[in-house]
Structure 1
Amino acid sequence: SSDLGGARSKHLFTDARRPIGENRDIVECRGCGHAFVSPLKPQDYVSLQPSHHPLDTGEGSHERFAGMMDRMAAAWGRAPGRLLEVGCAMGGFLAVAKARGWSVLGVEPSVAVAAHAAKRHGFEVRPGDYLGVELPEAGFSAIAAIEVLEHLVDPAAALRKMRRELEPGGILYLTVPNFATKALAEEPWEKWPALDPYGHIHYFRPERLTRLLSETGFEVVSLRTQGGRHGDEQIDLVAAPRHPAGVRLADLCEEVPEDRLPPLDRKDVSGAALTADQRAWREQGYLVLRGFIPPEVREPYRRLRERLRSPGGWRCPTPYMHFKELRDLGCYGPLADKLRELLSEDMGMHLNLTGWVSTERNWHQDDYLNPPFINSWYAAVWFALDTVSPECGPFEFVPGSHAWPLLRGDKVKELLTPEERSGPDWPKHSERVLNQVFEAEIAERGVRPVRFLAEAGDVLLWHGRLAHRGSRAKVPGSPRKAMIAHYSALSKRIDMPKAVRHGEGGWYFELDVPLAPEDRAALREPAVSFAERWAGLKRRLFDAS
């Protein structure tokens, strides 16, 4: 909690621009770092008129709301449901949602604005303060609050009410001005458009907003910053209610008979007979090999990947089927030998993650995404193609967590809604459950995650049960040039019967997954220097003669 104007508050800024008989200060709690207005007085929004909302009807407003709707719908990942917008103003966002098939309802404190929005768009908008508006039909698929929390005297109370009014599996979509924007360090505060102590009561930084959501029963699913010169003047996030109280990692796991596990995972293994790398794998569940991939193996793929416009990489999960450069890298002979040393069997590649930004995927084990007969005959490899720094959202993992119980996908699905568990995006929906479960397990065991920081050519190999995540980049969109490949033991993938050896190197499973048309179109033509064009012209002239 924050010290709202008490002795522990630090003065940040005084706004004397409006001659209303009093100045209003922005202060910061020395305890939690939250910034807010002092004196803490609510604004009168009941008497506002439609003319007070030019951004809802001005140029570009439809595109702005459409972009927000895209992000909310992507997080929802299902057919349109029931949407409540708190503080819906002139109804622009709800109008976009309605056009896309959502059943919508708005709440707006101003009677005049609520009536105008309802008449203009043809949907219901209930006037009044959200905390006082009864919604007996609660059970919303999604609740949106766009530029609202900063106006509320008690945002925590509003968030708790939103949580109660979401259906199981529902999501919360929020935007607020970002008090951590770089703009505040570069120019006088009064020039920042969102600085309004007469209307904005609270000023949120991403970490404080995340904490407030946690305190009110939510888990952040995704968070990004956008807008302004630096792309960071607004916080845009999706959150979901935390899983049912009392669910522990052990409740979602299963003990597997030892004879079904890889040899190094079994108890009756003599340490004296192991190599140093096998001991590290058995004890820690990962292996770092510095400078392992030579330039002649990694650079052809890096050049190919640089031609791809999308920072998220290919949509196709098996681009190795279409590009020899990926097979050369993922099936590099010494790597195949190392995987065989650790898993006691030849391993086949069957998945590539080719994004050059952090996935920001929350805590999980890879093995819960597998069929139950795999039982940790599985490994993943991170290939660093450039420097991986703390700023770009590096891979994080918990050493030794591969010895924790084996997470089972069917048990995780039981905590999802029927629609979520039956759809292809169920792993994404499971994050809201698993992240909290793993956070609790990490805290209870008193272990500390570590980050994989790397240079080009370094690789990280990790166990299928190792707890890991993609951390959030300090600077959104920071490039993290890498490729991740997943491998399974050839004899265990009865669902992938055809394995092919790549020359004298490793193996890959032959899977018929076509490249998406947009993936093919996204490849830029390779850059050709003047010297290369001149050499080609001379060859053609020579051949013609």
Structure 2
Amino acid sequence: MSAEAPGGDRLDDVQAYYDRLAPRLVAVESRNWHLQSRMALNLETIDEFVVRPGGPGARPRVLDVGCGTGFLLERLAERGYAGIGVDLSPESVEHATRRLEEIGAADRLTAVVGSAYEPPEGPFDLIALTDVLEHLEDPRACLRALRAQLAPTGLLVISTPNRRSLSGARRWAAEHGVPGIRLNLAPIDNWQTWTDLEGHAAAAGMVPVSRRGIFFRPGGRIGSQIGRLYRFSGPRRAELAASRTPLGRFGFYICLGFRAL
């Protein structure tokens, strides 16, 4: 992370927050409903819209910004991707690196500590920005930097909590002093909307090709208990089908795909 990156001092606090959170995420990600369903939302968008390179042995190249503990990188390894993940949390990167080594993908996918404002050299067929934009003081600067590393037919996938959702209304109530509502947020946690994301992307020279959102957000022990149901295809299909409806605009977790103009 550059010392000149917007919000540099506060991003240090975000880094410490995710360093602390990383072991817990690793422990619950495969059994928590929300973590599994938002991953499925990202992957469906990726599978539908990424243009894979042609030619014998060609692999799509990915940049996973905010790769965290490697949850998405592992899924992309199964799909034959090569590339790199960056995250500001060294603790998270350690988990991601170990995960890639364990599945035998470390020869084509790596995870390093890095900044969303200073991405590695492209071009990339896919750039994933998952749970990152809300932690940035200057989202447009980030998207301009990523746009410069996107392949001509590349896909940028942005997913983030939605300010215009039921959870967003609960957050508003907590921030305005309604008693009995408590929130645990990162030091920078500026939730976005579909309109926000489209405006940021347009300023960076990109247009949307996919807009989706999911509603169901059980967390903690309840989320992990309910998450056992996610191994059944019916609940998965139902939630992902609902994400394509106009109501997705108001889902807690929104996922938009963009291409360059």
Q: 1:197 to 1:78 in 2, by over 3 A?
A: closer
Aligned to 1:241: 260
| Match among 118, 139, 142 for residue 123 of structure 2 | 139
Change (3 A) 1:78 1:50: same
**1:367-406 correspondence to structure 2 within 5 Å:** none
Structure 1 residue 170 displacement after superposition: 0.3
SS at match of 2:112: strand
Whether the 8 Å CA contact 2:118–2:145 is kept in 1: the answer is: no
Q: Could you say which residue in structure 2 is the equivalent of 1:70?
A: 44
* Equivalent in the alignment of 1:108: 87
State the distance in 1 between where 2:95 and 2:168 align. Answer: 36
Helix, strand or coil at the partner of 1:180: coil
Which of 124, 132, 138 is the equivalent residue of 1:148? 132
Matches for 1:88-487 after TM superposition, within 5 Å? 88-122=67-101, 123=106, 124-132=110-118, 135-136=120-121, 138-185=122-169, 189-190=173-174, 191=181, 196=185, 198-200=187-189, 202-228=190-216, 232-242=251-261
Give the root-mean-square deviation of aligned CA atoms. 2.9
* 13, 16, 20: which one aligns with 1:44: 13
> CA 1:178/1:66 → structure 2, altered by over 3 Å: closer, same or farther?
closer
On the 8 A contact 1:143/1:172 being kept in 2, the answer is yes
> Which protein, 1 or 2, shows the higher relative CO under an 8 Å CA cutoff with sep ≥ 6?
2
State which drifts further: 82-91 or 43-52.
Answer: 43-52
Cα distance between partner residues in 2 of 1:93 and 1:83 = 11
**Deviation digits for residues 393-443 of structure 1 (CA, Å, limit 9, x no counterpart):** xxxxxxxxxxxxxxxxxxxxxxxxxxxxxxxxxxxxxxxxxxxxxxxxxxx
Change (3 A) 1:223 1:212: same
Rg (Cα) greater in structure: 1
Give, in angstroms, the shift of residue 62 of structure 1. Answer: 5.0
C-alpha displacement of 1:50: 4.9
State how far apart, in whole Å, the 2-side matches of 1:204 and 1:187 are.
Answer: 13
Distance 2:14 2:169 in 1: 31
- Contact preservation (8 Å) 2:144, 2:204: yes
Partner in structure 2 of residue 483 of structure 1: none
* Cα pair 2:126 2:156 within 8 Å, conserved: yes
Aligned CA distance change for structure 1 residues 162 and 189 (closer, same or farther; 3 Å) = same
Contact kept, 8 Å, 2:50 with 2:155, in 1: the verdict is yes
Deviation digits for residues 498-534 of structure 1, max 9, x if unmatched? Answer: xxxxxxxxxxxxxxxxxxxxxxxxxxxxxxxxxxxxx
SS of the counterpart of 1:130? coil
Question: Which letter does structure 1 place at the counterpart of 2:42?
Answer: M
Q: Which runs of 5+ in 2 are unaligned?
A: 1-8, 54-58, 175-180, 218-246
Q: 1:100 to 1:177 in 2, by over 3 A?
A: same
Offset of 1:141 from its aligned partner? 0.2
Deviation of residue 49 (structure 1)?
Answer: 6.0
Q: Secondary structure at the match of 2:185?
A: coil
Count of matched residue pairs: 200
SS of the residue aligned with 1:145? strand
What is the CA deviation profile of residues 91-111 of structure 1, one whole-angstrom value per residue up to 9, with x for unaligned ones? 100100101111131001122
Report the residue type matching 2:21 in the other structure. H
SS in 2 for 1:95: helix
Distance in 1 of aligned mates of 2:156 and 2:83? 14
Tell me, what secondary structure is at the counterpart of 1:159? helix
More helix by share: 2
Q: Percent identity?
A: 26
Secondary structure of 2:148's aligned partner:
helix
Query: Cα deviations across residues 229-281 of structure 1 (Å, max 9, x unaligned)?
Result: 78611111100111xxxxxxxxxxxxxxxxxxxxxxxxxxxxxxxxxxxxxxx
C-alpha separation in 2, matches of 1:208 and 1:233: 15
